[in-house]
Copies of this chain bind each other. A is one copy, B any other.
């Protein structure tokens, strides 16, 4: 189980500073959508340079213009880029095609994906599927990350994202995702290093370190 640090709503300098502080306790570093939309590919290049040893994931949330956007990301140094699962199937297929040609990876964000559409796109089994409770949906505390068809499909690699906290973390770990994506529980913590260490050590204690 890997820990992906989501860096959002920060300047590039702040993102690098937090990443450096928690470096030893995270595996993947995500350039958040807000950084990309505010600073463009400079944000991906800066985090690539600052963290050469990490897997860099660009949260592009591509929904169209797939080849162009994915080439932008990979050329800027990203190892993984995200596409919205609600996109037309051709969009997701294009992303995987570009990823293959760059020897890189694709994460499919399942936000708003219907069970029917999930069935259709779950054939893209080279991708990582991200079960995602969006920031906006987190405004209603009754919304939940769990109880989704993704967790019943044992053939797929999946990630989980969306307001994961110290409290909800054990339940998330029980689902055994490949990647747990954590943002504000680290970046907005009074002590980001201690927070990252908390999550990291729990994953290692469980022996889920692959």
Contacts and interface: CB of A to CB of B under 8 A. Distances in A.
A115 interface: no
A112 interface: yes
Nearest to A94: B136
A64 B94 contact: no
Interface of A: 8-9, 33-34, 36-43, 60-61, 63-66, 68-69, 72, 84, 86-88, 90-91, 94, 111-112, 134-137, 139-140
A159 to B, nearest CB: 15
Contacts of A136: 64-66, 87-88, 90-91, 94
Nearest to A40: B40
Contact of A38 (B9, B40, B112, B134): B40
